[in-house]
Chain A
Amino acid sequence: MQVPAPFESDRATSVEHAIGLLDRLGEEARLVAGGHSLLPMMKLRLANLEYLIDINDLHGELGYVRVGADEVRIGAMTRHRELLESPELAALFPIFADAEAVIADPVVRNRGTIGGSLCQADPSEDLSAVCTTLNATCVIRGAGGERTVTMEQFHRGPYETAVEHAEILTEIRIPVRPNGSSAYAKVERRAGDWAVTSAGAAVWMDGAVIADARVGLAAVGPNTTGIPAISEALRGQEPSEELYERAGGIAAEACSPTTDNRGSADYKRHLADELTRRTLRRSVERIRAGEAGDSATDRSR
């Protein structure tokens, strides 16, 4: 059995309480939500902390999916399983269910949270790619109040985010635009593994042509921009295999994978291309099938 070094812990009863504890306990304190990244790191003694502040009691305050007029707000403590099973997200952003179905396993999904996933900022993490694809913004709260950052600003590098000490990610906001849909695809060596490479795509149509499109990749280097070159290449175009191929080519060029246990850099670059094509194709198919994206009808439910 792997056992962590000694530490103390406390349970936060509100966001303010958590911020206060972080402020008081200093740099050696960390928040723990689902704990599926932090606790193994502590057991392996890769992370040695003096204090853990358990924020699971904040699920009531920060666990929600709220559909507003032009955006969806997701509380940072919303569990993977709640994202997977949310009818609102299934209707507006099927990319969530696509991704959640291949994130870890049911035990992890019952406990892990979207906020924890984003704050861990693992380069192979799926929800960062999903939020990038959907052009999400993140709400960060500290003693001095709230601020909102884009995914690009949020994600500063591997395992590094814009959340400063004594701050907490409270909410993820996703803009809702008409006639859109999305999809996610992941290649993993085994069920529950981190991605070798994954790709998310979101497409918004205007009649027969693409009004806008974004692609988010995971496990192939820093990528939280949505790859603007793909958006530019697709805007105003009619969907076609040639168009997807062009987008895939851009994705392969835009990423910077490295060779590791999960696969060679060449293979990951190939997957960036292949999965970009697949998710764009799937997104368009979903729009055409009326499966999702017509936000007016969806919100009426």
Chain B
Amino acid sequence: MTTLDSRPDREDLEHVDNDQHPVGHGRMLRKEDPRFIRGMGNYVDDIQLKGMLHLAILRSPVAHANILSIDTSAAQAHPKVKAVVTGADLAEKGLAWMPTLSNDVQAVLATDRVRFQGQEVAFVVAEDRYSARDALELIDVEYDLLPPVIDVRTALAPDAPVIRTDLEGKQDNHCFDWETGDAAATDAVFAKADVVVSEDIVYPRVHPAPMETCGCVADYERVSGKLTLWTTSQAPHAHRTVYALVSGLPEHKIRVISPDIGGGFGNKVPIYPGYVCAIVASLVVGKPVKWVEDRTENLVSTGFARDYVMRGEIAATRDGKILAIRTNVIADHGAFNGTAAPLKYPAGFFGVFTGSYDLEAAYCKMTAVYTNKAPGGVAYACSFRITEAVYLVERIVDCLAYELEMDPVELRRRNLIRPEQFPYTTKTGWVYDSGEYERALDHALEIAGYDDLRREQEEKRSRGELMGIGVSFFTEAVGAGPRKDMDILGLGMADGSELRVHPTGKAVLRVSCMNQGQGHETTFAQIVAEELGIPPDDIQVVNGDTDQTPFGLGTYGSRSTPVSGAAAALVARKVRDKAQIIASGMLEVSVADLEWEKGSFRVKGDPGRSVTIQDIAMRAHGAGDLPEGVEGALEAQICYNPSNLTYPFGAYVCVVDVDPGTAQVKVRRFVAVDDCGTRINPMIIEGQVHGGLTDGVGMALMEMIAFDEEGNCIAGSLMDYLIPTALEVPHWETGHTVTPSPHHPIGAKGVGESATVGSPPAVVNAVVDALKPFGIRHADMPLTPSRVWDAMQGRPTPPI
């Protein structure tokens, strides 16, 4: 346990001081925090509208069954119930099914069959949420049980029951196949390699588990025909377009508002049946309808993440030159393919499984299957499956180090892509923009005191103590994405941004991405502040309202800074360009005679003559003359289409102690060196890293959405689905290097998910390293005490 006394002094905290008023990049406290700290946030469940009704959803208690009958009469008779709706009712309106983000379909309410435990079967609209829940118990559903498909490995067996009978002609549970890389070239390299190591590696199903569950308030006004939806959405614009396409309501009469969001982590990217039910309910009853799911509903029915059963293979020379990586993956997509990823990337960005290493060849083959489990496969802080990819490569590299009896750091060092190789095209076709990998690795080892740690480990091993040191090096691919390659349901992944400077020099920035706790209100103000030279506190950032912001694809996959952040910088430069023209008129010199000094233009060679942005803003709105051809006002808008993803990277070192008697793992130290290019607000970056590291410790040691043989989800509460607390994590030791992105306007790369991607392999590598005296080369997450003990007994069994 980390106690306050054991925490080292944090000198850098002294720099977090808003009195310093950074005009641009730098440490400053978050502008949004005062309202959150004081309990003054405004979340979906805080929305109260006149006459608002409450919706509750009846869910299937079983994983796979035919619905024989539904009797809603007793629920209808409840005095406070306004409507009871079943799948059959929706089918009459053509609304029983909806598209998923992966071009599959998903039942809004089950019609003839339920396909996972927790699936939506009917809903009740009542005067209050208590009555809505009470009425659910009055609905009588008769189920005829079917055998469930739970084990992903046998989902394609010829005798496996077919889940997707709704799809015409479907004879099996096959969802899709996908491959990347060059199979023949990879096989050839493997054939000539000195050493080949294979390992079965499972990344279990986990859940984003945001503190705020999903929900919405739908308000359809019959007179104006306008639908307003307050909702927990990470992508309000994308949701609006999908609602327009599905419901037939004209898009300009749909307003999607995401108020404050209590954490998303990908969980709030998909459109869930509950949102559609609330919209339908509001259309039917003509009143605002609120639906907010409870914790169990969130855990058992909404977008999960991971669930990859992987076989990793690595080929190398005897002296530790990695030649190729080959992998075969079975992906569990649940009952409906609800994966949120760019359409051409059904496996997300798993193609970056070649990691940070210079290889001769690589190949991946993936088979995705349907099972009787909740649908999803979301970007849970994973940058579209990069978490799985990085875990695979960083685990298999450690397995190789084990076989070569080589220090895992030394093995990595020999194979890292060198600085002069950037931009580097991987064997699976990804173009890494920039990197100085060895510098980051060295910095992490220096903070950790790696050599001393190895010496300490040796001493402890001689006394029978179990200490482990785990290292991971990751490269992320974030900022989706170039619109020629990347779209979601046909919507290109470019982001709009609009900046308006008011007459007094204060400004409002409207962005399409959606804050869920990342600190956008601060970071984006700082981006504009840096470009315009006005204080961040003078810039209001508006997001989360489709009526007030330009179109864009939202916040997930660490794309906000790479895409919307670039848009914010560029729109500010556009405003600055206009300001320069106005300044030239004010100072009566040519534009070329002006130079920019953060916040003002001055005449070259005559620094006494200058005008500030505030002066210019007043002139832009004033009665005085403007240069010829210049319209009034000081504002601009753009849509930024990134030319490439950004590739942040990092080196992590984890130190664990394992109790030899009880097999409990204690994470003693964790060093994280991140390189996300230009750092806008280092304090916010550290906060993001801290959160991601905690997430990673949780996944490595305790988190798993587990099912029993009948398909019952046995992780339906936070007592069963464990997420880590402050007591499970050490004092985080963070460091950084800066390698700017060459194509991003300010050189920034995304960082929101780096730590979630990089930390699980570091923790697992450390635990496996601690267990080396037992001859353990691999053990799967979650490394609970029981599973670690099993490994120590020589039974490191997979969790599924």
**Contact status B790-A190, CB under 8 Å:** no
Interface size for A (C-beta < 8 A) is 27
**Contact status B728-A190, CB under 8 Å:** yes
Tell me the bound Cα distance from A200 to B702 in angstroms.
Answer: 25
**Contact status A187-B664, CB under 8 Å:** yes
Q: A3 contacts which chain B residues (CB < 8 A)?
A: 129-130, 133
Tell me the bound Cα distance from A203 to B16 in angstroms.
Answer: 54
**Contact status B296-A267, CB under 8 Å:** no
Q: A266 contacts which chain B residues (CB < 8 A)?
A: 790, 793
Residue of A nearest to B45 (CB): A1
When each residue 186-206 of chain A gets 1 if its CB lies under 8 Å from chain B and 0 otherwise, what string results? 010111111010000000000
Residue of B nearest to A5 (CB): B134
**Contact status B785-A263, CB under 8 Å:** yes
Tell me the bound Cα distance from A190 to B663 in angstroms.
Answer: 13
Contacting residue for A262 out of B129, B664, B786, B790, CB 8 A: B786
Say yes or no: is A44 at the interface (Cβ < 8 Å to chain B).
Answer: yes
Tell me the bound Cα distance from A275 to B663 in angstroms.
Answer: 12
Would A191 and B728 be within 8 Å (CB), given that A2-B294, A2-B296 are in contact?
Answer: yes
Tell me the bound Cα distance from A189 to B706 in angstroms.
Answer: 15
Measured CB to CB, the closest approach of chain B to A300, in angstroms, equals 33
When each residue 214-256 of chain A gets 1 if its CB lies under 8 Å from chain B and 0 otherwise, what string results? 0000000000000000000000000000000000000000000
Would A190 and B134 be within 8 Å (CB), given that A196-B785, A263-B785, A263-B786 are in contact?
Answer: no
Tell me the bound Cα distance from A191 to B697 in angstroms.
Answer: 14
Binding stretch for chain A, among B255-263, B589-597, B719-727: B719-727
Question: CB within 8 Å of A: which of B762-784?
Answer: 784
**Contact status A193-B129, CB under 8 Å:** no
Say yes or no: is B662 at the interface (Cβ < 8 Å to chain A).
Answer: yes
Tell me the bound Cα distance from A202 to B377 in angstroms.
Answer: 51
**Contact status B706-A261, CB under 8 Å:** yes
Contacting residue for B702 out of A1, A6, A190, A271, CB 8 A: A190
Say yes or no: is B295 at the interface (Cβ < 8 Å to chain A).
Answer: yes
Would A270 and B789 be within 8 Å (CB), given that A6-B134, A193-B722 are in contact?
Answer: yes
Say yes or no: is B185 at the interface (Cβ < 8 Å to chain A).
Answer: no
Tell me the bound Cα distance from A266 to B789 in angstroms.
Answer: 10
Contacting residue for A189 out of B45, B137, B785, B790, CB 8 A: B785
Would A267 and B786 be within 8 Å (CB), given that A45-B137, A274-B662 are in contact?
Answer: yes
**Contact status B785-A190, CB under 8 Å:** no
**Contact status B130-A6, CB under 8 Å:** yes
**Contact status B789-A267, CB under 8 Å:** yes
Q: Which of B45, B706, B786 has the most CB of A within 10 A?
A: B786
Chain A facing B: main interface SS: loop
Would A191 and B727 be within 8 Å (CB), given that A6-B134, A267-B789 are in contact?
Answer: yes
Q: A193 contacts which chain B residues (CB < 8 A)?
A: 719, 722
Measured CB to CB, the closest approach of chain B to A184, in angstroms, equals 14
When each residue 201-232 of chain B gets 1 if its CB lies under 8 Å from chain A and 0 otherwise, what string results? 00000000000000000000000000000000
Tell me the bound Cα distance from A262 to B786 in angstroms.
Answer: 7
Would A190 and B725 be within 8 Å (CB), given that A2-B294, A45-B137, A267-B786 are in contact?
Answer: yes
Would A2 and B790 be within 8 Å (CB), given that A189-B702, A196-B785 are in contact?
Answer: no
Residue of B nearest to A265 (CB): B786
Say yes or no: is A9 at the interface (Cβ < 8 Å to chain B).
Answer: no
Contacting residue for A264 out of B294, B664, B715, B786, CB 8 A: B786
Say yes or no: is B624 at the interface (Cβ < 8 Å to chain A).
Answer: no
Measured CB to CB, the closest approach of chain A to B133, in angstroms, equals 5
Say yes or no: is B605 at the interface (Cβ < 8 Å to chain A).
Answer: no
Q: B789 contacts which chain A residues (CB < 8 A)?
A: 263, 267, 270
**Contact status A189-B784, CB under 8 Å:** yes
Would A267 and B722 be within 8 Å (CB), given that A6-B130, A44-B296, A278-B661 are in contact?
Answer: no
**Contact status B296-A261, CB under 8 Å:** no
Q: B53 contacts which chain A residues (CB < 8 A)?
A: none
Q: Which of B129, B134, B294, B661 has the most CB of A within 10 A?
A: B661
Q: B785 contacts which chain A residues (CB < 8 A)?
A: 187, 189, 196, 263, 267
Say yes or no: is B188 at the interface (Cβ < 8 Å to chain A).
Answer: no
Say yes or no: is B406 at the interface (Cβ < 8 Å to chain A).
Answer: no
Tell me the bound Cα distance from A275 to B789 in angstroms.
Answer: 14
Tell me the bound Cα distance from A278 to B720 in angstroms.
Answer: 28
Say yes or no: is B292 at the interface (Cβ < 8 Å to chain A).
Answer: yes
Q: A270 contacts which chain B residues (CB < 8 A)?
A: 789
Say yes or no: is B184 at the interface (Cβ < 8 Å to chain A).
Answer: no
Say yes or no: is B714 at the interface (Cβ < 8 Å to chain A).
Answer: yes
Question: CB within 8 Å of B: which of A84-120?
Answer: none
Q: A263 contacts which chain B residues (CB < 8 A)?
A: 784-786, 789
**Contact status B725-A191, CB under 8 Å:** yes
Tell me the bound Cα distance from A194 to B718 in angstroms.
Answer: 12
Tell me the bound Cα distance from A6 to B664 in angstroms.
Answer: 43
Residue of B nearest to A45 (CB): B137
Ranked nearest first, the 7 interchain pairs of A and B with the lowest CB-CB distance are A263-B786, A191-B727, A267-B786, A2-B294, A274-B661, A190-B722, A267-B789
Q: With A3-B129, A190-B727, A266-B790 given, name 16 new contacts (CB 8 A).
A: A1-B45, A1-B292, A5-B133, A189-B702, A189-B722, A189-B784, A190-B728, A196-B785, A261-B720, A262-B784, A263-B785, A264-B790, A266-B793, A267-B790, A270-B789, A271-B662
